Amino acid sequence: MPEYLQRNTGRGLLVLCAFISLLLLPWMANAAKYNKRAVAVIIGNSNYQGRTPKVDYAGNDADAFKKYVIDVLRYDPENIIDLRDATKTQMEAAFGNHQTAEGKLWRYIDPKGRSDVTVFYSGHGVPGLKDKRGYLLPVDADPETPEINGYSVDTLFKNLGLLETKSVSVYLDACFSGDSQKGMLISRASGLVITPHLPTQAGNMTIITASQGDQVASWDDRAKRGLFTRHLLDALYGKADGEDYGNSDGQVALGEVREYLDDRLTRAARRTFGRHQNAWATGNDDVVLTSDFSNKTQPTIVLASKRVEPVKAKPVPVKKAKPSPPPQPVQPLVKKKPAAPAFDVARLANNSRWQIDIEIDDVRSDDYSGVLSISDGTFSKSFFHGSINLNIWGSLWRGELEINGSILDQSKRGYDDEVVTGKFSESIYLKRSPVTFRIVPAQTESGGVEIVIIRLRLIR
């Protein structure tokens, strides 16, 4: 080959390599920014089998959350387990079952515990009619028998807690009351209010769910999303860090998301549907959920049947500028004091102190009170008054108080021989402080039926 051809060929190869490098630079830069060890599981259950109604916007919810995970959290798309219309087999394959936690998620995470894990679910949730526990509903499950073919929330949280990870965040756009936007899922529970017993311990996980107790998770028909998912993503995209809810430090913490949802989600459910919907969250309020949300916004759902024509700009006549008014004196900026937070018993359940006043029918003229401390969502306390000994124990989670107790009366046979005169087990949903409720214990062999009146007041 002549020398001049060799020189030209060499120059051509150099130019080609430079061109290819320029094309690859953006991809290489983005790849370097990925949180390469982070793993996400995103589930959108929309099309259910049998008579179970469709969840219209579950697919949209999953799409929008996946975009957030990639664009904002910088998860590698290859590390996202994306399930649509997931069956029970697929959900167990992802999270494991009651026998093992070593499912697909376990296989994806870093063996040295350096993975951040995010779980998102949009779809139906139901309560078990027998065990009163919460279940996520696979698309091939029967809502009447979730104990057999549902995916237990207890199992989900237990298995996530067994994983060796850097952090775990769980977002559930589902309710567990048996009701839905399209009506009751459980025919045998029609007309009844079901409050499921969800796990009281979540370890170090951050968990946010769409509703509490017997509430319904609503849809936003204008945004074509679940109402919870829409406002959750608004919060995570930076609105929760704004002046009304956060400290504008460029980071969104759990406490800021909680404040945002308590305001925006709750108000939207009331205004649109006339119903109560309060998101529930547990975890450390200072945990940062996202920090890189600048210049990023939620994707907008556009219906294919409604094509939007571009608007032609009209010419604007040029007006002569008016003379500027004289400068006004600058008024001192007065910073508004933040409003006092509303009573949120779910937020204070893990570690809180309550003043408890107790009255029993034969001693109700006397003061009978003490301090009840709740640690990690559970409590146990004995109260003594004369010959009466009242033992109570239970848990407080998602605003639901599970309280059990027994009344012992030493006077029945003398102080050395206590007799159980009554037992009780109640479930009360707390919406305010103080709260007063009345309990009639089950009659025992001794014939006692003392009425117990309990008054709880949160100690700020």
Nearest to 340 by CA among 253, 430, 259: 259
Of 290, 308, 335, the residue at which a domain comes to its end is: 290
Nearest to 193 by CA among 181, 177, 209, 212: 177
Among the candidates 244, 271, 290, a domain finishes at 290
At 211-253, the pLDDT tens digits run 876 777 887 878 788 999 999 999 999 999 987 888 889 999 9
- Same domain membership, residue 193 and residue 274: yes
Whether 285 and 366 map to the same domain: the answer is: no
pLDDT digits (tens, 9 = 90+) for 409-443: 666 554 445 456 677 777 666 666 666 766 666 55
Residue 304 maps to a domain: no
Per-residue pLDDT at 70: 96
Q: What is the pLDDT of residue 308?
A: 39
Whether residues 366 and 282 fall in one domain: no
Whether residue 218 sits in one domain with residue 85: yes
Residue 13 lies in a domain: no
90 and 204 housed in the same domain: yes
Number of domains in the chain: 2
Higher pLDDT, 308 or 276: 276
| pLDDT for res 291 | 83
Q: Mean pLDDT across the chain, nearest whole number? A: 75
Residues 252 and 378 in one domain: no
H or E element in which residue 90 lies:
helix 88-95
**95-104, 285-294, 337-346 — which is least confidently predicted?**
337-346
Q: Which of 94-108, 159-173, 282-296, 435-449 has the lowest mean pLDDT?
A: 435-449
Distances (CA, A) of 6 to 1, 2, 3, 10, 171: 7, 6, 5, 6, 62
Q: How many residues would you count in the chain?
A: 460
Nearest to 241 by CA among 254, 255, 251, 226: 251
Give yes or no: residues 248 and 379 share one domain: no
Mapped onto helix, strand or coil, the DSSP state of residue 129 is coil
The pLDDT of residue 281 is above 60: yes
For residue 15, tell me if it sits in a domain.
no
Q: Look at residue 42 and tell me whether its pLDDT is greater than 90.
A: yes
The pLDDT assigned to 338 comes to: 44
* C-beta separation of 228 from 235 below 8 A: no
pLDDT higher than threshold 90 for residue 130: no
> Cα separation of 180 and 262, whole Å?
21
What percentage of the chain exceeds 70 in pLDDT?
A: 58
Q: Which amino acid is at 63?
A: D
Are 285 and 433 found together in one domain?
A: no
Same domain, 267 and 374: no
57-70 pLDDT, tens digit per residue, is: 999 999 999 999 99
Residue 202 and residue 62 in one domain: yes
Look at residue 237 and tell me if it is in a domain.
yes
Residue 320 within a domain: no
Is residue 341 pLDDT above 50, yes or no? no
Residue 2, domain member (yes or no): no
Q: First CA to last CA across the chain, in angstroms?
A: 90
pLDDT, average across residues 390-403: 72
Q: Higher confidence at residue 95 or residue 309?
A: 95
Q: Residue range 12-18: average pLDDT?
A: 59
Cis peptide before 434 (omega within 30 of 0): yes
Please state at what angle helix 88-95 crosses helix 153-162, rounded to 10 degrees: 20
* Domain stops at, among 250, 270, 290: 290
Is the same domain home to 191 and 50?
yes
What CATH number corresponds to the domain at position 434? 2.40.128
> What pLDDT is attached to residue 12?
61
Q: Report which of 256, 266, 126 is spatially closest to residue 185, judged by C-alpha positions.
A: 126
Q: Assess if residue 311 is contained within a domain.
A: no
Produce one character per residue of 176-200: b if its CB has 16 or more CB atoms within 10 Å, e if not.
bbbbbbeebbbeebeeeebbbbbbb
The better pLDDT of the pair 318, 158 is held by 158
Same domain, 226 and 355: no
Which range (70-79, 198-207, 318-327) has the least confidence? Answer: 318-327
* pLDDT > 60? residue 15: no
Q: pLDDT at position 348, please?
A: 55
Whether 306 maps to a domain, the answer reads no
Q: What is the 3-state secondary structure (H, E, C) of 330-399?
A: CCCCCCCCCCCCCCCCCCCCCEEEEEEEEEEHHHCCCCCEEEEEEECCEEEEEEEECCEEEEEEEEEECC
Task: Give residue 293's pLDDT band: very low, low, confident or very high (50, 70, 90).
Answer: low
The position carrying tokens 């697909």 is 104
The whole domain housing 442 covers 351-458
> Which is more confident, 355 or 392?
392
Residue 90: predicted pLDDT = 97
CATH code, domain carrying 101: 3.40.50.1460
